């Protein structure tokens, strides 16, 4: 298992102490601090913290239950089973999630075109759209996500396409890779969802090889368009403390696990981590998975010359300085 990560371009280590990991059938054990990390259904769970919705045990259990409920109906069946097991989400919103996730391979293709070169690591890979798009073009990426359930469900899609990239469950704030071992990484729509974005970017900087590059894109806090997670205008322009009550009053649910950065904040995160920011610019709105008027509207938005400060999405490309001399 560990060799598969090395073959894809990364050295897997303990996320707590960065010690050597010993492999067994059911776990990875650290020779340094003695921690044991479970391997479930062939995927190592190297998290130090659960994701922001479920405990680690419940996360793994829900993913496995969704696959069982799908009864061998593949990725689409697993998606439908998962959202049927999530009754707290309104059916219309669940249907929207299913449509979006089914179209993520097309979105992954658009993202590859935006990147210009495939990264070594897809940080926050979700259900594997970028992994699938890269695999179809002959490139194997490493997929990492803090939600074990989505790795399990996404693997169904990858298997349907005849792909088997290395997958690992871990926190962006404590990456299980050795210092300077990653040539490149992509974090698309990740930083707005992590608990500690500054720590996540510091980990990107730590694990990048000298001269290696990172790409990160996020929905922009100060976009003049509605906030995409709740489809309300003006959320990002409010003080942080007011955003939750505003969303709760108009949408009837919490706004706790999203923290959109503005362009200046995004640049600052990477500069504070010691990376050289090569560009900060509007990021495209991906449209390949959409149809009709919404697709046309977003394509029109992509043709507009947004200033980065007000663009719907913003992207930073940064590089780790190479040693001098």
Q: Is the pLDDT of residue 298 over 80?
A: no
- Sequence-ordered list of residues with C-beta below 8 angstroms from that of 282, at least 6 positions apart, any chain: 306, 307, 308, 311, 312, 313, 314, 315
pLDDT at 323 over 90: no
**Residue 198: pLDDT above 90?**
yes
Residue 282 has pLDDT above 80, yes or no: yes
Q: What is the pTM of this model?
A: 0.92
122 phi and psi angles, rounded to 5 deg:
-100, 105
Cα distance between residue 53 and residue 62, in whole Å: 12
- Count Cα neighbours of 96 within 13 Å in the Cβ-side half-sphere: 9
What is the torsional sign of CA 114, 119, 125, 127? Answer: positive
Ranges 124-128, 152-156, 159-163, 302-306: which has the least confidence:
302-306
Q: How far apart (Å, rounded) are the C-alpha atoms in residues 229 and 214?
A: 25
Instruction: Please tell me the distance from the alpha carbon of residue 291 to that of residue 306, in angstroms, as a whole number.
Output: 23
Q: In CATH, which of 3.40.190.10, 1.10.10.10, 3.40.50.150, 3.40.190.150 is domain 2-221+260-319?
A: 3.40.50.150
What pLDDT was estimated at residue 325?
Answer: 66
Averaged pLDDT for residues 221-242 = 92
The Cα 154–Cα 6 span in angstroms is 22
At 84, give phi and psi (nearest 5°). Answer: -65, -25
Which residue, 168, 160, 151, is CA-closest to 72? 160
Q: Which region among 99-103, 155-159, 197-201, 283-287 has the lowest average model confidence (pLDDT)?
A: 283-287
Residue 81: its pLDDT value, please?
94
Unique residue bearing structure tokens 């996500």: 145
What are the boundaries of each domain within the chain? Answer: 2-221+260-319
Under the banding of pLDDT at 50, 70 and 90, the label for residue 154 is very high
Q: Can you give the pLDDT at residue 256?
A: 83
Residue 254 vs residue 207, higher pLDDT: 207
Residue pLDDT, tens place only, 303-320: 777 888 899 999 999 999
Residue 232 has pLDDT above 70, yes or no: yes
CA distance to 32, 191, 250, 283, 312, per residue, from 307 (Å): 49, 21, 29, 11, 10
Residue of 8 and 88 predicted with greater confidence: 8
Distance from C-alpha of 230 to C-alpha of 94, rounded to nearest angstrom: 13
Question: How confident is the model over 189-199, as a mean pLDDT?
Answer: 96
């Amino acid at each position: 298992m560990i060799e598969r990560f090395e073959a894809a371009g990364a050295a897997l280590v303990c996320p707590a102490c960065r010690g050597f990991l010993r492999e067994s059938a059911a776990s990875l054990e650290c020779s340094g601090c003695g921690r044991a990390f479970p391997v479930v259904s062939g995927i190592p769970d190297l998290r130090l913290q659960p994701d922001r919705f479920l405990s680690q045990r419940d996360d793994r259990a829900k993913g496995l239950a969704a696959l069982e409920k799908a009864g061998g109906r593949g990725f689409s069946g697993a998606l439908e089973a998962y959202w049927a097991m999530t009754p707290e989400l309104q059916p219309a919103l669940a249907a929207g999630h299913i449509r979006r996730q089914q179209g993520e391979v097309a979105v992954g293709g658009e993202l590859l075109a935006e990147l210009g070169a495939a990264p070594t690591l897809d940080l926050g890979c979700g259900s594997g759209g970028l992994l699938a798009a890269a695999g179809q073009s002959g490139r194997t990426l490493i997929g990492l996500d803090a939600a074990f359930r989505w790795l399990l469900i996404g693997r169904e899609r990858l298997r349907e396409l005849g792909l088997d990239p290395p997958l690992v469950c871990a926190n962006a704030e404590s990456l299980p890779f050795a210092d300077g071992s990653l040539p490149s990484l992509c974090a698309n729509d990740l930083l707005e969802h992590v608990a500690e974005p500054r720590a996540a970017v510091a980990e990107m900087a730590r694990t990048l090889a000298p001269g290696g590059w990172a790409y990160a894109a996020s929905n922009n806090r100060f976009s003049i368009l509605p906030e995409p997670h709740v489809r309300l205008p003006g959320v990002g322009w409010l003080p942080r403390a007011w955003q939750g009550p505003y969303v709760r009053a108009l949408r009837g649910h919490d706004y706790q696990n999203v923290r959109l950065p503005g362009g200046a904040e995004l640049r600052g995160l990477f500069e504070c981590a010691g990376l050289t920011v090569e560009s900060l610019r509007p990021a495209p709105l991906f449209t390949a998975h959409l149809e009709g008027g919404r697709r046309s509207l977003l394509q029109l938005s992509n043709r507009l010359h947004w200033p980065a400060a007000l663009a719907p999405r913003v992207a930073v490309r940064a590089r780790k300085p190479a040693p001098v001399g």
